[in-house]
Structure 1
């Protein structure tokens, strides 16, 4: 089924795109959208003027810009070529990293440092597994929803949505571009509305149930904590905060737990409490 949907989707996508483009042009050509056209024309005029002003201002630094651009391209090329080799050696010798780092510490703390690094590695690995689990859940939910509404290529589009969901924050938005295009062209406004309803049902379930539950169990973090961490980090640090919130919290949790356990084992305060309890 997936193979047939892939072939049909590739064959029909150019027609879908042309039809959707014509539909949008015809729709916005009506008198009802005149204020939108005027706003866009005004915005385009301002944008063109800003581009001209910017060009005049920075034209003299063009040579330096070309040099910088060439440097960036060179860096990207070196990175692309080097990454497979770096990945190979990391996979080959990655298990030696904790022993190497711990060997730089005093003998009586090497075991503790090695344990700390191992726990951090486990947390990051569990986070990646959790993200894959969330992507799988998203794919299943969209497959069910698209099958119910009868969306063409539903399984293929659900698979794409699950894959794009691995990109935090913007992945779900990117995944809806082909979904809404196919829904509008193949089924008209009614199918588009149904696809939006499926998305409106899936998003709250994913954000407030699936992701906190799967990531919380994978990282031994309460689902409410995951929600609070995502909301607070997104408000403070923006998109980057949402991307790095959960893994950063998991690593920080390992550090704090390790420090607390060390303090509890070496402090006389807890010995007094234990004697009092007995």
Structure 2
């Protein structure tokens, strides 16, 4: 039997050996595929991070166009407006009110920002005065508390490292000049935003119908799965940003009203800013605590009472967002736990190096969840 196997050029393996070899090859194949996917992901994220100033206006234009596409379809298909007129009507009816809103509140925002800048020296003096008053108690604590002594010794031992770090400030300052040039280039790339918006808005054919023709090398079933994943990704982006824009706008108004009612200086501008930042989930909330509470304490006439009132206002608005706005507007469209959302924002913000990654963090993570479910249900089998 062995001689026959040798003459035929094959291997005579027992069933157990065949199972072992098949399992090893399967594991090796999975490792190779994961490595290839990881390498491709690294290349794509590095590419997007390097050219983010080019791709960010393109991505924002596409997302905004998809958000307002039902409005365009109403004008073009139901009311029979020609495509150029429908695009122009959408552009004017969306961005002109936004411009009017910005103009109406612009003077108030400018006044509050200007007053905030002029009040900064007074805040600093108050902070220094309170620090001087509290310094004897702090010094006594540092000199007598064992834990504080250990921290002090550790800080002194790392003094050389701190000095070396400060020496890098000049080098980083030199790179700031290149950052200014990059900002100018980014501003110029945003000039193309209306063109991107109009192009994506007027792209009228079905995404699924277009994608079917781009994958002729796949089997029909695999092609359907690929089209399903890409279509699902687009649907997730549209659903997320439609809901998140509405939630961020309403939350910003609630913050502005609540902060103004409790007497927080510049509460209106701060509230609108926090609402805008909440387009990226939880970003405005985290920044709001870091800015609003110290501002409430150190502002003229402020103190512990104002700080508590601002904190209560913050908790009330955050509760309204979590238990009323998000469930009614967004629902469970992403299916992600809040902790997963926070980790995803930091992960994709680091992976794609900046704002683009933070904006796309939730859609990308939700897409990966859908992809994993499809892979697990249709393509993964038991290895042993």
Q: TM-score range by the shorter chain?
A: 0.5 to 0.7
Q: TM-score of the superposition, structure 1-length normalised?
A: 0.63
Q: 1:36 to 1:188 in 2, by over 3 A?
A: farther
Separation (CA, whole Å) in 1 of partners of 2:209 and 2:188? 25
What value does the CA root-mean-square deviation take over the aligned residues? 4.7
Q: Which residue of 1 aligns with 2:299?
A: 185
- Of 364, 367, 373, which aligns to 1:248? 364
Task: Say whether residues 1:23 and 2:126 are aligned partners.
Answer: yes
Task: Say whether residues 1:231 and 2:343 are aligned partners.
Answer: no
User: Is the 1:134–1:210 Cα contact (8 Å) retained in structure 2?
Assistant: yes
SS state of the match for residue 15, structure 1? helix
Separation (CA, whole Å) in 2 of partners of 1:143 and 1:93? 34
- Larger Rg, first or second structure (1 or 2): 2
Separation (CA, whole Å) in 2 of partners of 1:3 and 1:82? 23
Task: Say whether residues 1:11 and 2:92 are aligned partners.
Answer: no
- Of 176, 186, 191, which aligns to 1:80? 186
Q: Which residue of 1 aligns with 2:262?
A: 149
SS state of the match for residue 215, structure 2? coil
- Of 240, 245, 250, which aligns to 1:127? 240
Q: 1:251 to 1:75 in 2, by over 3 A?
A: farther
Q: 1:17 to 1:85 in 2, by over 3 A?
A: closer
SS state of the match for residue 279, structure 2? coil
User: Is the 1:134–1:214 Cα contact (8 Å) retained in structure 2?
Assistant: yes
SS state of the match for residue 331, structure 2? helix
Separation (CA, whole Å) in 2 of partners of 1:200 and 1:35? 36
Q: Which residue of 2 aligns with 1:117?
A: 230
Q: Which residue of 2 aligns with 1:33?
A: 138
Higher helix share: 1
CA shift, 1:83, in A, is: 4.6
CA shift, 1:148, in A, is: 3.1
Q: TM-score of the superposition, structure 2-length normalised?
A: 0.48
Which is worse superposed, 26-35 or 250-259?
A: 250-259
Q: 1:92 to 1:258 in 2, by over 3 A?
A: farther
- What is the CA deviation profile of residues 120-148 of structure 1, one whole-angstrom value per residue up to 9, with x for unaligned ones? 21211111122212212321331342243
Q: Which residue of 1 aligns with 2:95?
A: none
Q: Which residue of 2 aligns with 1:51?
A: 162
Q: Which residue of 2 aligns with 1:275?
A: none
Which runs of 5 or more structure 2 residues have no equivalent in the other structure?
1-103, 350-357, 379-384
| Aligned residue pair count | 247
